[in-house]
Structure 1
């Protein structure tokens, strides 16, 4: 499956699951509150499939999959049969109307917790946060050394590389000095502080990560596997051999080995490889081969596979997984509201927001990484959908909740004129947000 079609497919899966769950929240609570539901639609526009349920509700899947809605019996939209007046939405108490509207975002939060719970029980394969720092980067100048293992970021304990990136990303949005606890390969634990406050405000977060300069440490220069028939195997190099030097130039890690091979083989493919085998030094002559593998650009090959970074799997039993799901949901909720606040005060760039294009790309990437990663992705998008819908913008659930809170205070519903004006304002804000996020993703795609 190509990247484009894969992205489209997994976007449809993502929207289908999350929109269905969101709208089911409205539907389920409306039915419990005695409101008649006329239509339950996944998508907008013309129906491509529909049926009438035994409860009289029309269930349909529409042609435009970017959302959905639950249409209830509502006196504002036409005459209501006197026999059905007790099932009409606006005739219900304000508290029931609040419950019905809040149920959509509420069910998204429930989905977030459930998806994270399942993810933690399945186990999410990852890498240990053993890092290196780019020379002259913020991390390097703060004292991060090659091979340091990150133990905590900004006071949050981490055990995987992705958790470290998540914690660092949140710290970069606030641009406050970031405490970092690391353990050196020898076991010494050090406390460092990365001066993120020196970064300029309002830049895209990928630029901040570049300035931060932290990345997974490259694997050691050990022949994890030697490919039969390739130059290394023909010269006698074996799996487990540690490469010490190339043509007398010392090798620090596997990335350094690749760079030396490309540079020296360009002058002459005949290389002298010094290695260590079971503690014994050995020197072998290897003739590098110029070739292309798997459609990649041609380069000088030895036929040595590098060892993989140290694995780290996060997996818990049911009870601890549920506790971790609750904690992760709460932490990400705080981080999301913190990001909104940082964008409003100018510390964080609005270029960090993605549209359906970015969501599609992330959906495809996470699906390729396995079920646990896709569940985590669904959970984060579901939580974002809940928070977005709770913003006090007319046309969103949060806008309706604002109207009902005003009704509670003043003792009567908001006037129809105010609601119409709010509807226009909400649509302008919503379309502006959609347009801006689309511009962000298109601009980011063109630059990549």
Structure 2
């Protein structure tokens, strides 16, 4: 319940802040262009609070806090007295209307840069792109434990998340990735990760793992927390034991124990389990017993539970001085925009799954998780969401800012506004497209909540 309430709260805070900034962009430029603004509303529905300024604009906070709007004087919507026609939106030049409409997305873009600037000044903590273990095609390509990824296909990476995104992009394009690493001996090498060998239908959210790359911070030591009475480990293993090997196979983390025990059980007979206990290394003979795993399926078990430690300490930090943080924020904004537009292009061409489209449920969950990680990560989340609002609003879909900009560009070319009928048809098509997009987002959100 606490997670649910936290998710709802942080989503309201996030959307409220970003939408307010977006609408303020429209409002500010509209006033500079001499347009009369009737209402500036944060939220939809009945106003819970409102005040008027000296220009006659009503500033309101409404009951439904998932959006907002700026209502301008417009002859297409209300009857305008002759004395006020000059301050109506529809009577402004096409370039002024373009500026007013583009100001909302522009405000979100500027906010993204500002938030990233603050984040870089504070410093964002993260995990380095250091490998803890390699298997499969990554091991065959020469990647090894201790390698630190420095560059993927010419793109410099500082963290595991950046490296993962670059590798995912290459995998979606069915291309092998050239990866520059610094190995455990501090030598720099360039290796080719054959991502084109990933099977069709691979999970785009798990590309590094499916390629056999296990980041160092993922690894948790296999330290025993509890032993089940009557199990294979009863009277042999103790709480605090650190499992080092199973049947001659080295164990670096707890996630390796289950498959090794399963293999030992299928082989039959006892096997040696090596542990560290009070500074001593012991070899104990154990025979796994059949039972049921957490998923209810048959599984060979030792009968131990592992200590679930806290997240490991961060080993990377992105931080700049006040001046240097500005170009860093601009570069990061460009990188995020390129990734977002690239993902949209791949979804349209079928190179990326439509499962990547997410909606308010995912936004709420990520907002809560980011807030729990700290101010630096919440600022990053807000910046990414602000940029997403900018890009989405610029899509040439009627009812969005991009659709209105498309109308005005057509007006510039043909020398006169589109007919009321043409704009009404466009609005209908835009609403249908938007409804379909929202339906897909909700579907993906709900699907992500269903246990697999």
Corresponding position of 1:98: 98
Unaligned segments of structure 2, at least 5 residues: 224-237, 285-293, 295-301
- Compared with structure 1, are the counterparts of its residues 260 and 89 closer, same or farther at alpha carbon in structure 2 (3 Å cutoff)? closer
CA distance in 2, matches of 1:74, 1:260: 68
Corresponding position of 1:291: none
1:429 is displaced (CA, Å) by: 0.2
Structural mapping, 1:360-371, within 5 Å: 360-371=364-375
Corresponding position of 1:226: none
Tell me the number of residue pairs that the alignment of Structure 1 and Structure 2 aligns. 420
1:219 is displaced (CA, Å) by: 5.6
CA distance in 2, matches of 1:395, 1:304: 49
1:99 is displaced (CA, Å) by: 0.2
Residue by residue, what CA displacement relative to the aligned partner does 1:260-316 show, whole Å, maximum 9, x if unpaired? 99999xx99xx9855797xxxx45899xxxxxxxxx9x9747989799366111111
Structural mapping, 1:354-433, within 5 Å: 354-433=358-437
- The reply to whether residue 185 of structure 1 matches residue 184 of structure 2 is yes
- The reply to whether residue 335 of structure 1 matches residue 339 of structure 2 is yes
Residue by residue, what CA displacement relative to the aligned partner does 1:26-63 show, whole Å, maximum 9, x if unpaired? 00000000000001112222222222223211111222
SS at match of 1:316: coil
Runs of 4+ in 1 over 6 A off after TM superposition: 220-223, 256-264, 301-307
CA distance in 1, matches of 2:358, 2:307: 40
**CA RMSD for the aligned pairs?**
3.6
Corresponding position of 1:314: 318
CA distance in 2, matches of 1:207, 1:251: 24
- Compared with structure 1, are the counterparts of its residues 273 and 400 closer, same or farther at alpha carbon in structure 2 (3 Å cutoff)? closer
Corresponding position of 2:197: 198
- Compared with structure 1, are the counterparts of its residues 222 and 149 closer, same or farther at alpha carbon in structure 2 (3 Å cutoff)? farther
CA distance in 1, matches of 2:67, 2:212: 39
Corresponding position of 1:167: 166
CA distance in 2, matches of 1:133, 1:144: 9
CA distance in 2, matches of 1:122, 1:386: 24
1:101 is displaced (CA, Å) by: 0.1
Q: Which moved more, 1:145-154 or 1:373-382?
A: 145-154
Q: Which moved more, 1:89-98 or 1:180-189?
A: 180-189
SS at match of 1:192: strand
CA distance in 2, matches of 1:393, 1:335: 21
The 8 Å contact of residues 38 and 72 in structure 1, kept in 2 or not, is answered as yes
Residue by residue, what CA displacement relative to the aligned partner does 1:51-94 show, whole Å, maximum 9, x if unpaired? 22232111112222222111000010121111211111011111
1:341 is displaced (CA, Å) by: 1.2
CA distance in 2, matches of 1:396, 1:247: 59
The 8 Å contact of residues 43 and 67 in structure 2, kept in 1 or not, is answered as yes
The 8 Å contact of residues 246 and 257 in structure 2, kept in 1 or not, is answered as no
1:139 is displaced (CA, Å) by: 2.4
The 8 Å contact of residues 390 and 396 in structure 1, kept in 2 or not, is answered as yes
Unaligned segments of structure 1, at least 5 residues: 224-234, 287-295
The 8 Å contact of residues 151 and 158 in structure 1, kept in 2 or not, is answered as yes
Q: Which moved more, 1:2-11 or 1:304-313?
A: 304-313
SS at match of 1:318: coil
Q: Which moved more, 1:341-350 or 1:421-430?
A: 341-350
- Compared with structure 1, are the counterparts of its residues 303 and 368 closer, same or farther at alpha carbon in structure 2 (3 Å cutoff)? closer
CA distance in 1, matches of 2:77, 2:192: 59
Corresponding position of 2:148: 149
- Compared with structure 1, are the counterparts of its residues 56 and 155 closer, same or farther at alpha carbon in structure 2 (3 Å cutoff)? same
1:168 is displaced (CA, Å) by: 2.6
CA distance in 2, matches of 1:439, 1:324: 36
SS at match of 2:417: coil
SS at match of 1:187: coil
CA distance in 2, matches of 1:193, 1:403: 47
The 8 Å contact of residues 208 and 214 in structure 2, kept in 1 or not, is answered as no
1:398 is displaced (CA, Å) by: 0.4
1:438 is displaced (CA, Å) by: 0.5
CA distance in 1, matches of 2:202, 2:61: 40
Corresponding position of 2:354: 350
- The reply to whether residue 437 of structure 1 matches residue 448 of structure 2 is no
1:431 is displaced (CA, Å) by: 0.4
The 8 Å contact of residues 39 and 72 in structure 2, kept in 1 or not, is answered as yes
